[in-house]
Amino acid sequence: MAASQKPASQKKVIISCALTGSIHTPTMSDALPVTPDEIVEQGVGAAEAGAAILHLHARDPLTGQPTPDPAVFMQFLPRLKQSTDAVLNITTGGSLNMTVQERLAAPLQASPEMCSLNMGSMNFGIFPLADRYKNWKHEWEEPYLRGTDDFIFRNTFRDIAYILEHLGEGCGTRFEFECYDVGHLYTLAHFLDRKLVKPPLFVQTIFGILGGIGAEERNLVFMRETADRLFGGDYAWSVLAAGRHQIPFTTMAAVMGGNVRVGLEDSLYLAKGRLARNSAEQVAKIRRILEELSLEVASPAEARAMLALKGADQVAF
Amino acid sequence: MAASQKPASQKKVIISCALTGSIHTPTMSDALPVTPDEIVEQGVGAAEAGAAILHLHARDPLTGQPTPDPAVFMQFLPRLKQSTDAVLNITTGGSLNMTVQERLAAPLQASPEMCSLNMGSMNFGIFPLADRYKNWKHEWEEPYLRGTDDFIFRNTFRDIAYILEHLGEGCGTRFEFECYDVGHLYTLAHFLDRKLVKPPLFVQTIFGILGGIGAEERNLVFMRETADRLFGGDYAWSVLAAGRHQIPFTTMAAVMGGNVRVGLEDSLYLAKGRLARNSAEQVAKIRRILEELSLEVASPAEARAMLALKGADQVAF
Amino acid sequence: MAASQKPASQKKVIISCALTGSIHTPTMSDALPVTPDEIVEQGVGAAEAGAAILHLHARDPLTGQPTPDPAVFMQFLPRLKQSTDAVLNITTGGSLNMTVQERLAAPLQASPEMCSLNMGSMNFGIFPLADRYKNWKHEWEEPYLRGTDDFIFRNTFRDIAYILEHLGEGCGTRFEFECYDVGHLYTLAHFLDRKLVKPPLFVQTIFGILGGIGAEERNLVFMRETADRLFGGDYAWSVLAAGRHQIPFTTMAAVMGGNVRVGLEDSLYLAKGRLARNSAEQVAKIRRILEELSLEVASPAEARAMLALKGADQVAF
Amino acid sequence: MAASQKPASQKKVIISCALTGSIHTPTMSDALPVTPDEIVEQGVGAAEAGAAILHLHARDPLTGQPTPDPAVFMQFLPRLKQSTDAVLNITTGGSLNMTVQERLAAPLQASPEMCSLNMGSMNFGIFPLADRYKNWKHEWEEPYLRGTDDFIFRNTFRDIAYILEHLGEGCGTRFEFECYDVGHLYTLAHFLDRKLVKPPLFVQTIFGILGGIGAEERNLVFMRETADRLFGGDYAWSVLAAGRHQIPFTTMAAVMGGNVRVGLEDSLYLAKGRLARNSAEQVAKIRRILEELSLEVASPAEARAMLALKGADQVAF
Ligand SMILES: [Zn+2]
Ligand SMILES: [Zn+2]
Ligand SMILES: [Zn+2]
Ligand SMILES: [Zn+2]
């Protein structure tokens, strides 16, 4: 009843879905999509289930190892564009062992509506995952994971400025600004000050990666409050959380007026102790929760309007 | 992965259900139970839907006006005890125009397993509700609501001590400590210091009553953190929120490891723009959400164990 | 360096000084001013030390008991006006055992530039103080303190509206809105919605009274953040804290861009274990701290401008 | 009065002083100590003013450029040990352009009681400083500062484990764990889980470096609360803040029961617009504030006991 209470009619909720990423490896779940065919199939399923944005990485079709190769991206991007109206969002983060130039090859070629962009350099420790598995499908998997104890996810101020200039200014691509800690929000505010980014910002806050902020609910609230203070009303807030925190954290984000990201990049599970068969199952689950909360799901067209995207007809694939 | 992350296996979630209360009036919803028959029917329904605790007020069967009359309570307490295993929790708050002695009459006679107990005196302004209705079913309703602009919900330190002594010590009744603001948590800590209350405490934090803390998510987190600090690990946290905040706030509480309270005392709605037909519908809704979150619902027996209650065979009805 | 950082040049800090209040009793400190002479002397001293606002209660000159008698107020108000340029701020809270009408008698007669106004009804438990003393100077003191375990500090919505209308609208008096808990801020927001109060608001947040929010630093930050959200940029924030928290909390407020209140109403001490000889010593102490923090102290004229006061020539004494 | 209120008698406050660091350059202040003589002189002065810990970097005596050369460290370490009883704390962070092996050379040779240790890799953007100066004393300064837009301060999990093993286990050195963001606290908790660090932890939280968490008061409170939750009671909390935030933030930390770090590494200023002539002036200032707050300053012996240090007689210089 007080002045401060937010209006009853909230905007719609954007569901992003991250199909495969570069954290999980084929040993961890048979459901993880690897080939272009699998990525297309799961992407279409996720979009049909309600995802307005599909966040995309590529993998070597034979080994499942993350790859920056534009040729592989081009095996699924046009087909996804044909089969769904969802916004196609390409990673600029790539994975271990890729230089920034490699990470940018596919996005610069594809000129997509949206790319992820990480707001700082950080340790990215997924090595504890390696202890949970014994028999590996592929030789690269275990050293890939264990090697993250010496890995820095590189995103310097200069790297970020370069991407904003060449991909943002150059291609008209807008960004999912990935923020793994409070300092990343300040870095985004720094680029806002320099007018290298422009509202409406799409701020993806991320919880539970070792090296970044932990997956505790109070951290979610604190990141939100910090973003409110730094960016005022002119940003769209989204949440993803690693592993078993995926559904609780996205639920909490939705309660708090935010958008949500699910998908097998972020968690392989559907429920406690139960692997998801695909990302669409996670999309359907969060969608059911949104509906119980009297919240509406944004369509791709509504997401494009909310985030000021250039349109699916302006991409180079 | 870090030290601080809470264990994957949470305790079960207690669903409390407040059937009728003293805030809403018959004009507001035909579903609001008034007669002992209606209270029994909706109580049984709520328990069957998953509520482990039923929180109870009485109303004049003819007018629907809140009443402290033990005789009316006795028309439904034994029948509810017969029909369900749920914990029966009787208000000590009563409503406007009741003295503390009147408010205590029924609880002292019934000697229930649990009673609500408010942790402070406060303004309790439900007068803005009156502007939403024009045609009133009963004459008492409008002046009852409008009069709350001059109403103090009385619960002095001496009152609280009296209730703790006569109902707590005297009857073995334990309490749902209702906290409408941060200071109420400090008052509870004060009584813990004086050893007039004993863990495990059942702390009901309440959001959205004008005069108390507002229904904003950050307030929910802050109340939780304050309770953690004041009571350490030895308390069970529960949340209720007024009106349209009911389901979002209880969902958020569940995500954060808390217990939940729903029921028509707190909200008349089931979804945006849609009145609930009974409290059981709200219980069923929050239960579906809990299950989507991989959380289990506590049975009445489990709730009794968690809250150290004396047992349904120890009551005086 | 980021967008969010507040500007280096802060506004000046208003020091309020509460000379005697109604919490402490003569037994507790010989320094507590009781007679009009003493109140004038300590008021002048506090103003000379840097206080821009003097907050005033009256006491029976013989017994030191708080009194609402306008005649007593009139024994010091004109003399203070003569002797100092400080803003004279009269309590509307009075003390135990006074009705709202009694509490308003002196302010309505004096028509001051500023009055305190409490934003809610609450328990006000100062009874624990009574255990610290054995030999009382006056008979009224011990029962006065002990009786607060059954005392409600009454300020209903209707009371507040009455004061806003008769003292605010009627006399052009502006208010120090005293907020002892989060709900009091929401109540103030409610009156802002109803346009019964107008910015710039002067919001005094109060910590450490049993019945209100406790004196913990995180509470101070939370009250500030809540006020920011509810009132935006158009309010002046001030802090007082009870007893030994006085200097630490006002220091923290100053660091955070707030204003401060000291004086013997709030604490009888100057340092750990050392009673203050008068309020001016506390003003001088917080002033030294402000200067170490490179903060400037507001003059009475600057305080009047910041708070939009009517001017010392518009009062009725 | 409530259970939660912290005891009146707090522990003593440790003042750390960082004499020169690697952020500021000679152009910025003539007071910045560069030569071993200057470092010894300012170190002795800071200790005499009340610093219990001196945090040390080395610089090329001719150019003022940060150097990892053990030979330079050895020109001041023995003399400081002779002249003062303060704990000598050597950086392991070094500066730009140093490898981790270079950064460790001096600490491994000196085997000091304490070293700083940074809890994560991060962008460390001090390039905005370069715009404030036109005429540079040395050629290296401007490119050094501007180059930080592409600089990653490297501290991988493997690096940290290496330092904990070789310097911690190997030399009995304990650490000032430098945490520039929330994720750094989680990283420290990770090493606590792995039992590679042992309480009592000395946790230095740092505010205002671009790339890390910003210098806003609420961030200070949040870092403190997070540390409380992750480390419980068994850690000593300290605060430093960059530039003009130095004194306000350390004051706030002291109010909240923390320890403080000042010195020209962190800020070149003594007050608004006024450069400090040496670090001792800043030590004296924060000491005066501590005394106004009724807080006592820890001696070097008391700091050694609080932090479980091996003693000044166990070092290799
Ligand atoms: Zn990705
Ligand atoms: Zn009730
Ligand atoms: Zn007063
Ligand atoms: Zn350093």
Q: How many CB pairs under 8 A join A and B?
A: 81
| Residue D10 confidence (pLDDT) | 53
Chain B residue numbers touching C127 (CB-CB < 8 A): 157
Q: Which of B173, B250, B242 is nearest to B13 (CA)?
A: B250
Classified by CATH at the fold level, domain A15-314 comes out as TIM Barrel (3.20.20)
Q: How far apart are CA C45 and CA C281, in angstroms?
A: 9
Chain D residue numbers touching A188 (CB-CB < 8 A): none
| Residue D304 confidence (pLDDT) | 98
Q: How far apart are CA B298 and CA D135, in angstroms?
A: 72
Residue in chain C closest to D274 (alpha carbons) equals: C294
Chain B residue numbers touching A6 (CB-CB < 8 A): 216
pLDDT at A10 over 60: no
pLDDT at A4 over 50: no
CA distances from D259 to C95, C298, D14, D249 (A): 40, 31, 5, 11
**Residue range D152-170, pLDDT digits in tens:** 999 999 999 999 999 999 9
Chain A residue numbers touching C225 (CB-CB < 8 A): 225
Residue D257 region by backbone torsions, left for phi larger than 0, else alpha for psi between -120 and 50, else beta: left
Place of tokens 């007809």: A313
Q: Could you say which ligand is closest to the alpha carbon of residue C115?
A: 3
Q: Cα distance from A228 to chain D (closest Cα, Å)?
A: 13
Place of tokens 């903060």: C295
**Four-residue CA torsion sign, D126, D127, D130, D131:** negative
Q: Which amino acid is at D159?
A: D
pLDDT at B154 over 70: yes
Q: Which amino acid is at C135?
A: N
pLDDT at D96 over 90: no
In this structure, the strands spanning A122-123 and A152-153 are antiparallel
- Decide: C122 and B183 in contact? Cβ < 8 Å: yes
Q: How far does residue A265's CA lie from ligand 1's centre (Å)?
A: 7
Q: How far apart are CA B52 and CA B87, in angstroms?
A: 6
Q: Which amino acid is at A267?
A: S
Q: Which of B112, B117, B42 is nearest to B70 (CA)?
A: B112
Tokens representing B174?
């334990």
In this structure, the strands spanning C235-241 and C201-207 are parallel
- Decide: A6 and A257 in contact? Cβ < 8 Å: yes
Angle between helix D100-110 and D70-83 (nearest 10)? 40
| Residue A223 confidence (pLDDT) | 98
Average pLDDT over residues D279-285: 98
Radius of gyration of chain D (CA): 18
**What CATH architecture does domain D15-311 belong to?**
Alpha-Beta Barrel (3.20)
| Residue B94 confidence (pLDDT) | 83
Block mean pLDDT (10 aa), chain C, length 317: 41 96 98 98 98 98 97 98 98 88 96 98 97 97 97 96 97 98 98 97 98 97 97 95 98 98 98 97 98 98 98 97
Beta-ladder partners of B50: none
Let me know how many helices (H) and strands (E) chain C has, helices first.
Answer: 11, 14
- Decide: B241 and B215 in contact? Cβ < 8 Å: yes
Q: Please name the member of A150, A155, A213 whose beta carbon is closest to the beta carbon of D182.
A: A213
- How many other C-beta atoms can be found within 10 angstroms of the C-beta atom of residue B99? 11
Average pLDDT over residues D4-12: 54
Average pLDDT over residues A169-183: 98
Tokens representing B303?
């709730």
Q: Which amino acid is at A37?
A: D
Contacts of B233 (CB under 8 A, 6+ apart): none
Q: Cα distance from B194 to chain D (closest Cα, Å)?
A: 9
Query: CB distance from C229 to chain A under 8 Å?
Result: yes
User: Chain B interface, mutation test: which of A252, A285, A286, most B Cβ atoms within 10 Å?
Assistant: A252
Chain D residue numbers touching B1 (CB-CB < 8 A): 190
Radius of gyration of chain A (CA): 18
- How many other C-beta atoms can be found within 10 angstroms of the C-beta atom of residue D142? 17
pLDDT at D310 over 90: yes
Tokens representing D153?
């301060």
Place of tokens 């009728």: B20
Nearest 10 degrees: Cα torsion C232, A191, A240, A295: 50
Structure letter (DSSP) for residue B233: T
**Residue range D179-229, pLDDT digits in tens:** 999 999 999 999 999 999 999 999 999 999 999 999 999 999 999 999 999
**Four-residue CA torsion sign, C211, B15, B262, B167:** negative
Q: How far does residue A20's CA lie from ligand 1's centre (Å)?
A: 8
Query: CB distance from A195 to chain C under 8 Å?
Result: no
Q: How far apart are CA C37 and CA D307, in angstroms?
A: 54
Question: What are the structural domain ranges in chain D?
Answer: 15-311
- Decide: C243 and C269 in contact? Cβ < 8 Å: yes
Chain D residue numbers touching C214 (CB-CB < 8 A): 2, 4-5
Query: CB distance from C229 to chain D under 8 Å?
Result: no
| Residue A91 confidence (pLDDT) | 97
> Which ranges constitute the DSSP H helices of D52-95?
70-83
Considering only residues 269 to 298 of chain A, which have any Cβ-Cβ distance to chain D shorter than 8 Å? none
Structure letter (DSSP) for residue C264: T
**Four-residue CA torsion sign, B95, B96, B98, B99:** positive
Radius of gyration of chain C (CA): 18
**C-alpha A203, offset from chain centre:** 10
Q: Which of A32, A35, A94, A40 is nearest to A68 (CA)?
A: A94
**Contact (CB<8Å) D214/A186:** yes
| Residue C10 confidence (pLDDT) | 53
**Residue range A231-255, pLDDT digits in tens:** 998 899 999 999 999 999 999 999 9
Chain C residue numbers touching D217 (CB-CB < 8 A): 221, 255-256
**Residue range B218-258, pLDDT digits in tens:** 999 999 999 999 999 889 999 999 999 999 999 999 999 99
| Residue B205 confidence (pLDDT) | 98
User: Chain C interface, mutation test: which of B185, B186, B191, B223, most C Cβ atoms within 10 Å?
Assistant: B186
**Contact (CB<8Å) C211/B187:** yes
Q: How far does residue B202's CA lie from ligand 2's centre (Å)?
A: 15
pLDDT at B8 over 80: no
Q: Which of D258, D229, C4 is nearest to A183 (CA)?
A: C4
Classified by CATH at the fold level, domain B15-310 comes out as TIM Barrel (3.20.20)
Structure letter (DSSP) for residue C9: S
Tokens representing D52?
């219990």
Please list the helix, strand and coil fractions of chain C in percent, rounded to the nearest 5, in that order. 45, 20, 40
Tokens representing C41?
């002397």
| Residue B2 confidence (pLDDT) | 37
| Residue D97 confidence (pLDDT) | 79
Chains touching chain D through at least 3 C-beta pairs below 8 angstroms are A, B, C
Q: How far apart are CA B234 and CA A212, in angstroms?
A: 30
Q: How far does residue D17's CA lie from ligand 4's centre (Å)?
A: 10
Average pLDDT over residues D127-139: 97
| Residue D11 confidence (pLDDT) | 84
**pLDDT confidence tier of residue A59, bands split at 50, 70 and 90:** very high
Query: In terms of residues, how long is chain A?
Result: 317
- Decide: B92 and B112 in contact? Cβ < 8 Å: no
Q: How far does residue C66's CA lie from ligand 3's centre (Å)?
A: 11
* DSSP characters over C91-150: -S---TT--HHHHHHHHHHH--SEEEEE-S-EE-B-GGGGGG-SS-SSTTHHHHHHGGGG
**Contact (CB<8Å) A186/D213:** yes
Chain C residue numbers touching D258 (CB-CB < 8 A): none
Which region among B9-13, B267-271, C116-120, D75-79 has the lowest average model confidence (pLDDT)?
A: B9-13
Q: How far does residue A93's CA lie from ligand 1's centre (Å)?
A: 7
| Residue B11 confidence (pLDDT) | 84
pLDDT at D141 over 70: yes
Average pLDDT over residues B135-149: 97
Burial D5-27 (b: 16+ CB within 10 A, else e): beeeeeebbbbbbbbbbbbbbbb
Query: CB distance from C2 to chain A under 8 Å?
Result: yes
- List, as own/partner pairs, every contact residues D22-25 make where C-beta atoms lie below 8 angstroms and the sequence separation is at least 24, other chains included: D22/D57, D22/D66, D22/D91, D22/D93, D22/D94, D22/D95, D22/D96, D22/D265, D23/D126, D23/D129, D23/D242, D23/D265, D24/D264, D24/D265, D24/D268, D25/D64, D25/D136, D25/D137, D25/D138, D25/D141, D25/D144, D25/D145
| A135 three-state secondary structure | coil
Look up the ipTM and state it: 0.95
User: Mean pLDDT of all residues in chain D?
Assistant: 95
